[in-house]
Structure 1
Amino acid sequence: MYWSGKSIWVEWIYKRFLKKDTIWAVKAISEASWVWRKILKYRNEVEDVIMHIVGNGRSTKLWQDNWHPRGLLIKGFGDRIRYDSGLPHLATVEEILRDGKWHPTSATTLDLREAWGCLQSIHRLHYEKDDLVVWKGDPIGVFTAKSAWEIVRRRGRLVGRKQCGLKDETIIQPQDFPEELNSLVKDDAEFKVYNRM
């Protein structure tokens, strides 16, 4: 959905199922197709593999995209953090940036203090650049159906490994990231993908 651009299928999915929501928050409906139900079933398997690197913050959802060290803020803190911040459900990261610097709402609760407290440590693109969506399941950061299948398949195998008492994590090596990504992930030489089953 992030990489398909002007695909007719993606436009139809937005109009029919997502409307003004995101893939991470939308609820499954009974009349949905088998394919859409399967996409929703496996979305949690790839949630931590899609990473948003913030530039101007315009296309990254504040609460529902994986841009923050805690992952999706709405999942990490619950709906209450959104109400406490006073920012809307579909707010973008741009709403807590001013002139390229972090400028979040007042940290009136412990959850907001925790969320806003680590903003300075987040690696960002230049504030005049568009946000970047990176698929961490592929060494060059580009989505392919094959890499998505490998993640789902690998995690399925990990369930069996866990039952045998083996370690349940897989390391993804970012060997050939584009130059712009190399500087952003230099401190994170390995991406760990954990089994969530």
Structure 2
Amino acid sequence: MVFSLKLILRLLNGNNSLWADWVRKHLVRQESFWDIRDTGLGSWVWRKLLQLRPIAKQFVRMEVYNGKTVRFWTDLWHPMGRLIEVAGEIGTQKLGIARTALVCDVWSERGWMFSRCRDRHMRSLFQAVEAHNLVEDRTSSDIIIWRRKETDFGKVFSTS
């Protein structure tokens, strides 16, 4: 399981490995790894990785810098987890943010760009998003971090 989780991290990190490049091109395509359905395509290893997503979610976080690789709704960048699971599919319509939007599409120097909404649940969601402090360095690339201890995350995943 540990080595399978390491493969998931390698896939999410955008590492330049022949395997990760092939999987991103032929299996992930334009989807989020977290949303891909198991259609029977790919090897047994690929299907095993898809089954391990609930466990991987406990360990993966994304640090947003320029927001060009982190999906607003479906990636694990906010402490609340995947925002699509909090808001539901209707949240994309109520806030006027496409499901495929990147964080950089919604966040600028002037702040967050949400459509105004009277729904209390949606207002509490965008208040939580606004309260989450993002790094002000917009020149750096986003990174994937891995939980090492209860509250400690780091860039390195060690199988030891």
So what's the TM-score if we normalise by structure 1? Answer: 0.66
Rounded to whole Å, the distance in 2 between the matches of 1:116 and 1:33 is 39
State whether structure 2 residue 33 is matched by structure 1 residue 23. yes
Q: Which residue of 2 aligns with 1:104?
A: 114
Q: How many residue pairs align between the two structures?
A: 147
Q: Which residue of 2 aligns with 1:48?
A: 58
Rounded to whole Å, the distance in 2 between the matches of 1:77 and 1:140 is 26
SS of structure 1 residue aligned to 2:12: coil
Structure 2's unaligned 5+ residue stretches are: 1-10
Rounded to whole Å, the distance in 2 between the matches of 1:134 and 1:47 is 11
In structure 2, which of residues 77, 81, 86 is the aligned counterpart of residue 67 of structure 1?
77
Q: Which residue of 1 aligns with 2:131?
A: 121
Q: Which residue of 2 aligns with 1:189?
A: none
Q: Which residue of 2 aligns with 1:136?
A: 147
Runs of 4+ in 1 over 3 A off after TM superposition: 137-140
Q: Which residue of 1 aligns with 2:97?
A: 87
Which protein shows a greater Rg? 1
Amino acid at match of 1:104: F
* CA gap 1:103/1:127 in 2 versus in 1, 3 angstroms: farther
What value does the CA root-mean-square deviation take over the aligned residues?
2.1
User: After superposition, what is the alpha-carbon deviation per residue over 1:10-36, rounded to whole angstroms, capped at 9, x for unaligned?
Assistant: 121122211110110000012431100
Q: Which has the higher contact order (CA 8 A, sep 6+)?
A: 2
Contact 2:27/2:41, CA 8 A, preserved across alignment:
no
Contact 2:66/2:104, CA 8 A, preserved across alignment:
yes
So what's the TM-score if we normalise by structure 2? Answer: 0.79
Give the % identical residues: 23
Q: Shift of residue 101 of structure 1?
A: 2.5
Contact 1:53/1:131, CA 8 A, preserved across alignment:
yes
User: After superposition, what is the alpha-carbon deviation per residue over 1:29-66, rounded to whole angstroms, capped at 9, x for unaligned?
Assistant: 12431100100001110113211122221111001111
SS of structure 2 residue aligned to 1:120: helix
Amino acid at match of 1:132: I
Structure 1's unaligned 5+ residue stretches are: 148-197
State whether structure 2 residue 87 is matched by structure 1 residue 77. yes
